[in-house]
Amino acid sequence: MNTFTLSPYFGDHAVLQRGEAIRLRGGGTPGDAVFAKLTGATPSPEAASHSPAAGSDGCADAASGCPAAGFCGCADAVFGSQSAGSDGCADAASGCPTTAPDRCAFAHPEPGPKSPGIVAEATCLIGGDGVWQMELPPLPAGGPYTLVCVCGSDDSRRTSADPPGACLAGKSQPLGHTIDDGGVRLTRTDIYIGDVWLLGGQSNMQLPMERVKYRYPEEYRNGASGLIRQFCVPYGWDFHAPRKELSGGEWIVAAPHDTPQFSAVGFFFARAYLERTGVPVGLILTAVGGTPIESWVSKEALEKLENGAALRAYDGRTLADALSDAALCRDDEYVRRIQEADLARDAHWHAALNDADPGLKRSVGTGAPDAADLGFREGWASPDFTEDASWKPISLCAPWEGAADLEPPGAIWFRRWVDIPPGMAGRPLRLELGTIIDADQTFVNGEKVGETTYRYPPRMYVLPGLSAGKHLIAVRVEAIRGRGGFTPGKAWRLILDGQMPEPSAGMDFAEDAYAAPAACTNSAVTGNDTTGKGDTRKEAKGNGVAGNGATRDGDTGNGAADGVIDISAGWHYRRGATCAPLPPPTFFERKPYGMYQGMVAPLHGFPIAGILWYQGEMNADEASSYPALFAAYCAEGRERWGNPDLPVIYVQLPDYRLEDAANWPGFRAMQARLSNLHFATGRVVSNLDMEEDVTVDANQAAADLSAVGADTSVAKPDRVCLVKPIPHTAMVAAFESGEANDLHPTCKKPIGELLAQAAATLRGNR
Summarize pLDDT for 329-372 with one digit per residue, the tens.
Answer: 999 999 999 999 999 999 999 999 998 888 875 433 333 444 33
- Which pLDDT value is given to residue 269? 98
- Residue 417, phi then psi, degrees to nearest 5: -90, 145
313 contacts: CB under 8 Å, gap ≥ 6:
292, 294, 319, 321, 322, 592, 622, 625
| Cα–Cα distance for residue pair 515/493, rounded to 1 Å | 12
Q: Would you say 45 and 221 are in contact if contact means Cβ atoms under 8 Å apart?
A: no
142-152 vs 184-201, strand pairing mode = antiparallel
Q: Checking DSSP bridges between strand 571-578 and strand 410-420, what pairing results, if any?
A: antiparallel
**CB-based contact 582:484 (threshold 8 Å):** no
- pLDDT at res. 49: 30
Count the residues in the chain: 766
* HSE of 215, CA atoms in CB hemisphere, 13 A: 22
Dist CA 733 CA 743 (whole Å)? 16
For the chain, first and last CA: distance in Å? Answer: 46
- Residue 332 main-chain phi, psi, to 5 deg: -60, -35
Q: Do 431 and 494 contact (CB within 8 A), yes or no?
A: yes
Q: Which residues contact 753 (CB under 8 A, 6 or more apart)?
A: 268, 269, 272
Residue type, 520: C
Q: What are phi and psi of 72, to 5 degrees?
A: -110, 30
What is the C-alpha separation between 79 and 452, in angstroms, rounded?
33
Report the candidate in 165, 82, 155, 83 with the shortest Cα–Cα distance to residue 124: 165
Distances (CA, A) of 126 to 5, 30, 131, 427, 693: 11, 5, 6, 61, 50
Q: Which portions of the chain are predicted below pLDDT 50?
A: 42-114, 156-162, 164-180, 362-376, 501-558, 684-685, 687-721
Torsion angle, alpha carbons of 161, 167, 173, 175, to 10: 150
State residue 57's pLDDT score.
Answer: 34
Question: Using one digit for the tens of pLDDT, what is the confidence trace for 451-472?
Answer: 999 999 999 999 988 999 999 9
Q: What is the Cβ-side half-sphere exposure of residue 342, based on CA atoms within 13 angstroms? A: 12
Q: Kindly report the pTM of this predicted structure.
A: 0.80
For helices 664-672 and 626-640, angle between their N-to-C axes, nearest 10 degrees: 40
